[in-house]
Chains A and B, each alone.
Chain A
Amino acid sequence: MKTQEKVLDVKGLRVSFFTDEGEVPAVDDIDFYVREGEVLGIVGESGCGKSVTSLSVMGLIPNPPGKIIGGEIKLNGEELTTASEKRMRQIRGNEVAMIFQEPMTSLNPLFTIGSQLMDAMLIHKMGNKKQAKQRSIEMLKLVGLPRAEEMMSDYPHQLSGGMRQRVMIAMAMVCNPRLLIADEPTTALDVTIQAQILKLMRDLNEKMNTAIMMITHDLGVVAETCERIVVMYAGKVVETGPAVEIFKDPQHPYTRGLIQSVPDMRYKKQRLYSIPGNVPKPGSIKQGCRFADRCEFAFDRCRQEDPPLYKTAEGHSTRCFLFDEKEETVHDNRNTVKS
C-alpha cells in the first residue's frame, strides 16, 4: 500500500565539516522526501555527500568536526535536527533503522547474534526477554536464514558475508521501523549473494511496507530496486525523478554521462562514454554549477551562477541551466542533451 504520506521529509539540509583547512560543506542545501512504503535511491560517486545525508537523518554525524548547519529533517512529522540525544536514541532502531556496507564491522564480534538482536528490542522496551527472543527468531527466519534457533547462539565470525548482512537486516527490522536506510548494502558482497540480498529487501519492502532509502553508487542496483531516484553530485541534488524516467531520459548532463559510462553487460560497445576530469573534492568548487568543469554543455552562466532545480515534468527536476525556459541561447544545447 502506497500513500502520498511522507515518512521522511528533508528540506534545505546543510552539513559541513570544520577542519584545519576551514569549513568543508559536504551536503549543501538538499531537499528530498521518502513516501510511505516506497524505495528511494540516492545515487552518486565518492564524496558527493550521500552517506553524510544518511548519517544526518540518523543523527550520527560525528560532531566535532561535522555539524548540521541548516535545514530540517522531518521523520513522521517530527523534527530531528533539534531533537535531544535521548529522543534520538528512542527513534534510532525503532522508527528508522540503518544497515551498512560492511556487515563484519557493523556487528559486535564479542556478542552472539541472539543477544545483539534482542538488545534492540529490549532497549526500545518492545517486550520482555522471552518475547524478544521469540521475535528475534522470527526475524531470522523472515530474512531467510536456515536453523534460526541455533544461530541465536552463534558469533558473527561463524557466518559468511551474505549471512551477516541478513542478520543486519533482521536486526534493523526487529522493531518494525517505517524507514530503513541502507548505505551500500551489497557493495561488499559477491554478485550471486548481492542478488539474494536485493531480493530479500524487495520482499521486505512489500511484506512489511517499510520505506527504504537505498544509498549506492551502483546504477544497476538502483535500476533494480528503486522507484524514485535522487542523483547527487558534490553535495547537491542534481536530478530527481522516477527511476524509469531518469534511466530513459536523463536530463542533467552528469546523470546522462554517469549512465553512459556504465559498461552494460547486455551489449558490447566499442568505446565507453567517459566524463572527463575528476570527481571534485568536497568544498573545492565555490562558484557556479559544480559540474561545469566536466560538462560538455557548460556556458558562461554555469561558471558564475549556481543553477536552481528546474521542474521538467511531474515529479522530475534537474539542476541545470539548460532547462531554464528563459535561456534562449541554450535551446540548441538542450536538444542535444535530450536526443
Chain B
Amino acid sequence: MTTETLLRVENLKKHFPIRGGVLGKEIGSVKAVEGVSFEVKKGETLGIVGESGCGKSTTGRMLLRLIEPTDGKIYFEDQDVTELSTSDMRKLRRDMQMVFQDPFASLNPRHTVEKILEEPLKVHGIGTPKERKQKVRELLEIVGLSSYHAKRYPHQFSGGQRQRIGIARALMTQPKLIIADEPVSALDVSIQAQVLNLMQDLQKEFQLTYIVIAHDLGVVRHISDRVGVMYLGRMAELTESEKMYDKPLHPYTQALLSAVPIPDPLYEKDSIVLEGDIPSPSNPPSGCAFHTRCPYKMDVCTQKVPELREHEPGHYVACHLYTEEGSAAGQNKQLPEEGKHE
C-alpha cells in the first residue's frame, strides 16, 4: 500500500427534493448526505458502514456520479470529478467501476454472460471483437468460473456465481478503484466467504483500491484497512479498522458494535441497547443527529453539529465528548469507557 491518495472527497452533499402540492413544488428535502469528507489511498480498502438511510449508498453512487452531488468536490487522481462533462465522466469510469448488491437485478437476463462482460469494453472502444472475447474468457477464469460459462444466461447461475460475474464485469476495463455496494449481503454465509476471499485475491493481483459499503460489521472488519461509520448523512467516526473495533470513540459506533450478535454463545458482552429509531433524514434532529438516542447527551449536542476532527493521529471522530465545548460543558459527564470490545 502506498501513501498516495487516489480519491479525495470534500464536503459532499446530496439533498433529494420532496415535491408536493398541486403544482409539484419543492416542499422540503431529504438530506441523504450532509457534508462527508474522506480520502482513499491507493491499494487500500475503505469500508463504509451504517444503518439504512445513513447515506452510505448515496455516497458510493455520487463518487461515480450515478447520482449528481448537490454540493462538494470529488477528486480522483487530482482531477475534479464533479466538473467533468458527461463524456469525460464516461471515460473516467474506465478507472472507477462498481459492483452492486443484488446479483439478480444487476445482470441483464436477456444477455449472455459474454455479452454482459464484453459491454464495458465496447463502450470504451477497447480491443477487437476477438481480443474482447479472449478477455472475457480470461476474466471468467480469474473470478473462479469457467470459460464455457460465457455462452450461458444469468438465470443459469447461482447467487454467488452471479456476483462473480458482477465482479468480472467491473474488472473488464482494468479499473483502479472499485466501489462495492453491499457485495455479499444477498449471499448465503458459505458463499459470502468465497466472494470475500475472491475480492481480496483480486485486490492483490491487480493492485485494486476498494470502497466497500456494507451494513455487516463483521464483513467490513474482515475486508477493510480503514472504516468510516456514517449516521444520518454524516461521518461519525473514521479510522483504521483495528482501532475502530478495539477502541471506538463515538457513542454510536460503540452502540453499533455492541449490537452485533457474536457467533459464540459463551461470549459475554456489554450490550448497549439503543432506545428508539433512526430519525428521518427529511427532518433530522438539530445539532448532533445522534443526540436523540445518545446515552451521553449534553446541552451542546442539541445545538451545535460536531465536526469530524482528528482526536488521535488517524482517528477522526465527530462528537462533542471530544471537543473543547463538549468537555467544558460536560465536566462531570463520564466519558464512555474505551476498549470495551476487545
Chain A: residues with CB nearer than 8 A to chain B? Answer: 45-46, 160, 162-163, 190-196, 198-199, 217-224, 226, 243-244, 247-248, 257-259, 261-266, 268-269, 271-276, 278-279
Contact = CB atoms under 8 A, between A and B. Distances in A.
Given A45-B188, A196-B274, A268-B222, A190 B161 contact: no
B197 A220 contact: no
A264 B342 CA distance: 12
Contacts of B67: none
B59 interface: no
Residue with the greatest number of chain B CB neighbours at <10 A, chosen from A191, A221, A271, A279:
A191
Nearest to B278: A190
Given A223-B263, A248-B266, A278-B161, A192 B193 contact: no
A247 B265 contact: yes
Given A223-B262, A263-B221, A192 B158 contact: no
A46 B261 contact: no
B188 A263 contact: no
Interface string B247-268: 0000000011111111111110
Interface string B15-44: 000000000000000000000000000000
10 contacts: A191-B215, A191-B259, A220-B260, A223-B261, A223-B267, A261-B193, A265-B245, A265-B257, A272-B197, A275-B194
B334 interface: no
A38 to B, nearest CB: 14
B218 A190 contact: no
B215 A279 contact: no
A104 B31 CA distance: 24
B45 to A, nearest CB: 12
Contacts of B48: none
Contacts of B190: 45, 257-258, 261, 274-275, 279
Contact of A196 (B158, B265, B266, B273): B273
Given A163-B277, A262-B189, A244 B218 contact: no
Contact of B189 (A45, A191, A248): A45
Given A46-B188, A271-B200, A274-B194, A195 B259 contact: yes
Given A257-B190, A274-B190, A264 B263 contact: yes
A257 B197 CA distance: 15
A220 B271 CA distance: 14
B183 to A, nearest CB: 13
Given A160-B277, A271-B197, A272-B222, A190 B52 contact: yes
Contact of A192 (B160, B188, B255, B264): B255
B158 A278 contact: yes
B261 A220 contact: yes
Nearest to B157: A278
A285 B251 CA distance: 50
Interface of B: 51-52, 158-161, 188-194, 196-197, 200, 215-219, 221-222, 241-242, 245, 255-267, 271, 273-274, 277-278, 341-342
B263 A220 contact: yes
Given A263-B222, A265-B218, A274-B197, A224 B262 contact: yes
Nearest to A218: B261
Given A223-B264, A247-B263, A278-B161, A261 B274 contact: no
B119 to A, nearest CB: 26
A264 B218 contact: yes
Closest 7 CB pairs of A and B: A220-B261, A261-B193, A274-B193, A195-B259, A190-B51, A263-B222, A263-B218
B192 A265 contact: no
Given A219-B263, A268-B221, A195 B273 contact: yes
Contact of A195 (B218, B271, B342): B271
A79 B53 CA distance: 46
Contacts of A194: 259, 261
A237 B258 CA distance: 32
B263 A262 contact: yes
B26 to A, nearest CB: 23
A103 to B, nearest CB: 13
B83 to A, nearest CB: 36
A20 to B, nearest CB: 16
B130 to A, nearest CB: 32
A158 to B, nearest CB: 12
Contacts of B158: 278-279
B265 A243 contact: yes
B214 to A, nearest CB: 10
A275 B159 CA distance: 15
Nearest to B259: A195
B90 to A, nearest CB: 35
B161 A262 contact: no
A263 B219 CA distance: 6
B242 A268 contact: yes
Residue with the greatest number of chain B CB neighbours at <10 A, chosen from A163, A196, A274:
A274
A263 B266 CA distance: 17
A19 B250 CA distance: 53
Given A45-B188, A192-B51, A220-B260, A266 B271 contact: no
Given A262-B189, A263-B196, A269 B260 contact: no
Contacts of B197: 271-272, 274
Contacts of A274: 190, 193-194, 197
A168 B158 CA distance: 33
B193 A162 contact: no
B256 A192 contact: yes
B218 A279 contact: no
A226 B217 CA distance: 22
Nearest to B50: A190
Nearest to B190: A275
Nearest to B293: A192
A14 to B, nearest CB: 24
Contacts of B259: 191-192, 194-195
